[in-house]
Amino acid sequence: MNIETDVKEEQFIKIYDELAEGIYRHLYFRVYDGERAKELMQESFTRAWIYISKGRKIDNLKALVYRIATNLAIDESRKKKTASLDGLIEAGFEISITQDNNIIMKAEAKELLHTMKKLRESERNLILMRYISQMGPKEISQVLEKSENWVSVNLNRAIKKLKKYAN
């Protein structure tokens, strides 16, 4: 390996350490299967590394990895039906919520899961990216290849719709 490749590899390992948990959560809430989410997370990073190793220019590695993960999750959902949110709830799944990201109280997590399934997939995806993956509107816009304004407006609409369904 040459020095340039070593630097790329070190940077990639650092990015992996920073993003792995968030990518896993992002995928988990798309496929609702822990093992499959891990496999897709690994595949996302593998594909990103292949892309990088070909010498292609990358403006935002985080956006690239999330985009790959999102595309893999979409492909996965096309291949088979995902487990229902009801199945997750019955299995005792709980969302962990940080104090900084206090959208809902932990006690309301199960109700939120029920309510989330009433949203369109695109609306769920925006909410998951923002509040589960803790991505900002700029990062989401890069992943979805939409404007920041589009992300903000549609995220706001999705949250209003979620609140409406929750009442």
pLDDT in tens, 8-52: 788 888 889 999 998 998 888 888 788 999 999 999 999 998 988
Nearest-angstrom CA–CA distance, 41 and 78: 17
Backbone angles phi, psi at 166, to 5 degrees: -75, -25
Per-domain residue ranges of the chain: 1-83, 90-167
Q: Which residues contact 39 (CB under 8 A, 6 or more apart)?
A: none
Q: Are 81 and 31 in contact (CB under 8 A)?
A: no
Tokens 């949203």 belong to residue: 119
- Cα distances (angstroms) measured from residue 48 to each of 8, 10, 36, 51: 12, 14, 18, 5
Q: Are 69 and 44 in contact (CB under 8 A)?
A: yes
Nearest-angstrom CA–CA distance, 118 and 67: 24
Tokens 């790329």 belong to residue: 8
- Quote the pLDDT of residue 17: 92
Q: 1-83 and 90-167: same fold?
A: no
**What's the one-letter identity of residue 93?**
F
**What's the one-letter identity of residue 106?**
K
Nearest-angstrom CA–CA distance, 48 and 26: 16
Q: Which residues contact 134 (CB under 8 A, 6 or more apart)?
A: 22, 101
The tokens for 69 are 């993960």
User: Out of 3.40.50.300, 1.10.1740.10, 1.10.150.130, 3.30.750.24, which CATH number does the structure's domain 1-83 have?
Assistant: 1.10.1740.10
> Among 109, 153, 103, 156, which Cα is nearest to 131's?
103
The whole-model pTM stands at 0.62
- Quote the pLDDT of residue 125: 85
Span 90-167: which CATH code?
Answer: 1.10.10.10
**What's the one-letter identity of residue 64?**
L
**What's the one-letter identity of residue 69?**
A
- Quote the pLDDT of residue 30: 81
* Residue numbers of the chain with a pLDDT score lower than 50: 1-3, 82-83, 97-107
